[in-house]
Copies of this chain bind each other. A is one copy, B any other.
Amino acid sequence: MAAQRGEGETTTTPLEPADRERARAIPEAAVARLAVYLRVLSGMADQGVTAVSSEELSQAAGVNAAKLRKDLSYIGSYGTRGVGYDVEVLVSHIERILGLTRNHSVAVVGIGNLGHALANYGGFPGRGFPVTALFDVDADLIGVPVGGIPVSHIDDITAVCLEREVSIGVIATPPPAAQSVCDRLVSAGVQCILNFAPVVLQVPDNVEVRKVDLAVEMQILSFHVARRADEAASVSVGNNGLGVDGMVIRP
């Protein structure tokens, strides 16, 4: 909706009605994997590979071959039985479904440790996500270029986001500021937010939020360490080699 210019004509290449229905039905989990397939396929294309089978591609993407085929089937039937998939064709169809046929302007809010890293990162523009705006409250930062873009004051967020047609907002401020920054982004018309602050954001229904929570990631890893340690411990104590449900733990 934010991408919608006036009425009728959009700059985005419209999907065929059939594709539109498909896109609506793609499971979230499959979308995430499609993005991974896309990267793997792009890499293959760069190396001159023109065709690939579901088996090869699934290996490279680290998933089950059947799952890969099912994922691809969500976007249509573009393979050739007995042969496999044409890399270029697959790339273009995945890009189309993911909405990568147009650029998505990114704004980063909070130009501290993380914000600097993000602003300097060269991987985004190349993939269709140019960083076009940076915001902070720190007076010493305003106007200073980071990664080639001068930092704007957070109070100008609405004007700047509208002017530069920002469609994705990245929050890299301290936790206490995150909700307020989020609200400002939303009122500036940004409907997609990537949040690095360890805070649960409240947003209206029409806004999509994804969070990257490193502490949570670490704690999940910690859980697995602990679980493994416990398993080892339970095996070393007068154990009979059987797990709780009778499965053999160690042959």
Contacts and interface: CB of A to CB of B under 8 A. Distances in A.
Interface string A220-232: 1111111111111
Interface stretch (A7-15, A44-52, A148-156): A7-15
Interface residues of A, number: 98
B117 A230 contact: no
Contacts of A35: 213, 215-216, 219-220
Q: Which 9 residue pairs spanning A and B have beta carbons closest together?
A: A99-B226, A7-B239, A192-B221, A113-B117, A35-B219, A62-B200, A35-B216, A117-B117, A99-B222
Given A116-B117, A121-B113, A250-B4, A210 B206 contact: no
Copies in the complex: 2
Contacts of A227: 23-24, 99
A65 interface: no
A70 interface: no
Contact of A244 (B3, B15, B116, B222): B3
